[in-house]
């Protein structure tokens, strides 16, 4: 259930021909990302969906436009005069390849001069142990290192936005985290890969470490770049997204996991649209400000919450930042662009 008074339609709408606002989102072609894009599009934003598969993203864009057209049909005449659709575009980016990430940034910068909202939404969960071609554990790169690189490379465009829009409407970065960050119950060495048997247990440590690192990132950015509003969100237990596809496809045990997810989701889960509420609110709520909300963590439906002690520790956050910069530097990748 949404909190009393929270309704995406109550958030500001913009006319892209008068007040052109730009959003960039990873993984916006499915799950909560799809609904986040839909709301941004309905509120007049020009949205770039970064993804690996052009066909899948273009199919999602078609579906989003069709859903938005249906929603517009339900508007009153007065609402149609004040609510305008934005635009949606595909941008090729593969988070498993850091060269692809930097190429996507270069492509975006070639067509846009500023950026209002960046949503680091794409992620993977509880996968078998594997290393990427860049030399990072797959969950660490997808859930943290790639978003770190993408964000730092886009900071100049986010900061450009501060000169074009009112001070009360700062550019925003939203990192989609997870309650699963709690699996990092101790500040593990960032080089830890937990490549131990059984994977069914240690994969969650890898996931928790990556998601904790993402929260650290938002807290450090809030300190280093006080003109950009940085937030982490936990969307809730969204049980029917493709995050669980690996587990449910396993022979025999997959049926057990499927049954468990169905039962758990029935009692504790939230729908995909409700799961997107936290992200949408952090993207569009005009009541969020640099002074009181920068670096904060929000839970289901955008309700302010507190992450784990490990994720909240600023000394650990600084160590995570230093490790990331050094790790990228070892690969001849600079974040200062």
Nearest alpha-carbon partner for 321 in 14, 269, 313, 294? 313
Q: What is the CA radius of gyration of the chain?
A: 19
Nearest alpha-carbon partner for 122 in 102, 139, 103? 139
Give residue 308's pLDDT: 96
What token pair was written down for 130?
């594997």
Q: Which residue out of 14, 144, 207, 316 is catalytically annotated?
A: 207
Q: Is 62 a catalytic residue?
A: no
Give residue 271's pLDDT: 82
Give residue 244's pLDDT: 59
Phi/psi for 130 (5° steps) reads -160, 150
Would you call 155 helix, strand, or coil by DSSP?
A: helix
Answer yes or no: are the C-beta atoms of 223 and 321 closer than 8 Å: no
Q: Is 308 a catalytic residue?
A: no
Give residue 187's pLDDT: 87
Per-residue pLDDT tens digits for 298-328:
998 889 999 999 999 999 999 999 999 999 9
Q: Which residue out of 60, 177, 232, 327 is catalytically annotated?
A: 177
- Cα–Cα distance, 201 to 210 (Å, whole number): 15
Where do the structural domains in the chain lie, given as residue ranges?
Answer: 12-239+273-330
Give residue 272's pLDDT: 82
Enumerate residue ranges in the chain where pLDDT < 50: 1-5, 337
Give residue 261's pLDDT: 63
| Superfamily of 12-239+273-330 according to CATH | NAD(P)-binding Rossmann-like Domain (3.40.50.720)
Peptide linkage before 21 cis (omega within 30 of 0): no
pTM given for the model:
0.91
Give residue 173's pLDDT: 98
Residues contacting residue 48 through CB under 8 Å, at least 6 positions apart: 22, 23, 24, 25, 89, 90, 91, 108, 112
Q: Is 207 a catalytic residue?
A: yes
Residues contacting residue 166 through CB under 8 Å, at least 6 positions apart: none
Q: Which residue out of 14, 45, 48, 211 is catalytically annotated?
A: 211
85: left (phi over 0), alpha (psi -120 to 50) or beta: beta
């Amino acid at each position: 259930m949404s909190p009393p008074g929270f309704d995406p339609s109550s958030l500001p709408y913009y006319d892209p021909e008068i007040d052109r606002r730009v959003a960039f989102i990873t993984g916006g072609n499915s799950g909560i990302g799809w609904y986040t894009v839909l709301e941004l599009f309905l509120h007049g934003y020009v949205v770039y969906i970064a993804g690996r598969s052009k066909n899948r993203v273009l199919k999602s864009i078609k579906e989003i436009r069709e859903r938005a057209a249906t929603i517009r049909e339900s508007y009153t005449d007065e609402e149609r005069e004040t609510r305008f659709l934005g635009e949606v575009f595909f941008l090729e980016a593969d988070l498993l390849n850091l060269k692809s990430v930097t190429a996507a940034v270069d492509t975006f910068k070639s067509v846009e001069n500023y950026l209002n909202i960046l949503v680091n939404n794409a992620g993977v969960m509880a996968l078998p142990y594997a290393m990427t071609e860049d030399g990072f554990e797959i969950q660490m790169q997808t859930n943290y290192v790639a978003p770190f690189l993408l964000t730092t490379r886009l900071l100049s465009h986010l900061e450009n936005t501060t000169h074009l829009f009112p001070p009360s409407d700062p550019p925003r970065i939203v990192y989609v985290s997870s309650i699963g960050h709690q699996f990092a119950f101790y500040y593990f060495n960032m080089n830890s890969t937990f490549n131990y048997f059984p994977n069914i247990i240690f994969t969650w440590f890898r996931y928790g470490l990556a998601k904790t690192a993402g929260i650290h990132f938002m807290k450090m950015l809030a300190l280093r770049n006080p003109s950009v509003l940085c937030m982490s969100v936990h969307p809730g237990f969204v049980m029917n997204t493709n995050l669980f596809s690996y587990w449910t496809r396993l022979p025999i045990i997959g049926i057990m996991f499927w049954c468990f997810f169905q039962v758990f989701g029935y009692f504790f889960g939230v729908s995909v649209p409700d799961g997107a509420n936290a992200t949408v609110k952090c993207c569009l709520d005009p009541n969020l400000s640099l002074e009181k909300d920068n670096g904060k963590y929000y839970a289901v439906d955008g309700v302010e919450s507190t992450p784990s002690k490990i994720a909240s520790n600023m000394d650990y956050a600084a160590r995570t930042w230093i490790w990331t910069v050094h790790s990228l530097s070892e690969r001849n990748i600079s974040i200062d662009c």
